[in-house]
Amino acid sequence: MANHTVETELRKLKEILEVPRTKEWEYTVKLLLGLIGEDPNRPGLRRTPLRVKRALQFLTAGYRQDPAWLFKRAVGRAKTDEMVIVKDIDFASLCEHHLLPFFGKCHIAYMPDKQIIGLSKIPRLVDVFARRLQVQERLTTQIAESLNTFVQPLGVACVIEAQHLCLMMRGVQKQNTRAITSAMLGVFRTSEKTRAEFLTLVRSGSV
């Protein structure tokens, strides 16, 4: 029985590898549906391969976006050293371990040196990295390091609070669990006062 199952799956895989590229999504999703015991040809699932393709292309659009292009015309010179904060940035991403969503809010601050960035570019930067297969720790670091590289401020801070469906729907199944990660660069790492000011403003009801 086991050998029959292996042979069957190998045959299905061989069929997928030989199909035209325009049909790869359809065959792959149909195979997954069949492996979980579903009938991919029943009415409710007939258009599922197309829907899955479009959804995953949207949720992984960050692979096709370059942060450098985002900053190309967004950075301007300014004489200010006051903290800039954009908080409560909603985001959603896909956990690379289970391909299940995690979602939450991102809080970002930077201390300008000689340059500032258009405020709308900061949420866009979050999306560039969130719309990839991710882990929260790396997402936090990538956002902070990218802002630090292209704006060259005195410091950058990024805090992410997120809920993970891989914790809520499977595994420990704890629906109210949140994960919090942070990345502190420059003065946010070296100055306790600056770091404390940022965290206080993020936790407050309004900035």
Q: Quick one: CATH architecture of 68-203?
A: 2-Layer Sandwich (3.30)
Query: What's the pTM?
Result: 0.86
Scanning the structure block, which residue is given the tokens 């050998």?
3
For the chain, give every domain's residue range: 2-59, 68-203
pLDDT (average), residues 19-29: 80
Contacts with 137 (C-beta within 8 Å, 6 or more apart), sequence order = 181
Residue 200 reports pLDDT greater than 90: yes
Query: Is 12 exposed, middle or buried (CB count within 10 Å of its CB: 0-12, 13-18, 19+)?
Result: middle
Per-residue pLDDT reduced to its tens digit, 33-79: 988 989 999 999 999 999 999 999 999 999 999 998 888 877 777 77
Residue 3 reports pLDDT greater than 60: no
| 49 φ, ψ (degrees, to nearest 5) | -55, -40
Least confident of 17-21, 72-76, 193-197: 17-21
Active site (catalytic) residues: 95-98, 136, 164, 166
Kindly list the strands in the beta sheet with 179-186, ordered across the sheet, starting from the edge strand earlier in the chain: 133-134, 84-95, 101-111, 155-164, 179-186
pLDDT (average), residues 125-150: 97
* Listed residue (100, 105, 96) closest to 166, CA to CA: 100
